């Protein structure tokens, strides 16, 4: 309590500021690992957890930059039960599938085939194995080709709290984590 001795005789504004500082400090200290994750119930029946990439991509026009979004989804009924999605602002030129380079925790890059969604702005990988590899990871690096002459895109994700996010999704979907 010695810290507050200096507040004796302080005005109301000073006391309010001190109380606000304490609330902010306690809130920041209790910040959870899920703070960067956004949870949602999709229109398609999927329950999702989404995370923005650490890096920015520049749109084809060059005027706007954005962060790709990684979404982990589960479905309580139907197949596929688990999936990963990468949301982009610029579409890729592939029509059905695209080869992604994937590195987890700065390990070796592996090539995977992802499906291309509508207008080429969503890349999807179905299956529990992809989500399982993320559940204990701390970093994910995805790299892909936008088109023959368009160059490569890269998304770097800090996966802090991913284990908790997958656990929450599993609970909401009434299934076990992958």
pLDDT tens track for 85-99: 999 988 888 889 999
pLDDT at 60: 63
Which residue matches tokens 């299934």? 175
Q: What residues in the chain have per-residue pLDDT under 50?
A: 1-8, 10-30
> Cα–Cα–Cα angle for 38, 54, 170, nearest 5°?
35
| Complete domains list, the chain, with CATH | 38-172 (2.60.40.1880)
pTM of the predicted protein model: 0.77
At 131 the pLDDT is: 95
pLDDT number for residue 61 = 66
């Amino acid at each position: 309590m010695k810290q507050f001795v200096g507040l004796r005789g302080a005005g109301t504004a000073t006391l309010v500021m001190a109380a606000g500082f304490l609330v902010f400090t306690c809130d920041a200290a209790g910040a959870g690992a899920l703070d960067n994750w956004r949870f949602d119930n999709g229109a398609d029946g999927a329950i999702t957890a989404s995370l923005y990439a650490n890096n920015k991509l520049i749109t084809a026009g060059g005027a706007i930059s954005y962060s790709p979004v990684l979404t982990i989804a589960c479905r309580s009924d139907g197949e596929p039960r688990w999936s990963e999605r990468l949301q982009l602002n610029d579409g890729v030129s592939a029509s059905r599938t695209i080869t992604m380079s994937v590195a987890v925790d700065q390990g070796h890059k592996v090539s995977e085939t992802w499906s291309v969604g509508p207008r080429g702005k969503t890349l999807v990988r179905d299956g529990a194995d992809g989500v399982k590899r993320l559940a204990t990871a701390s970093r994910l690096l995805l790299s892909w080709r936008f088109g023959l002459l368009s160059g490569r895109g890269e998304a770097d994700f800090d996966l802090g709290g991913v284990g908790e996010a997958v656990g929450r999704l599993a609970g909401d979907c009434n299934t076990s984590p992958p």
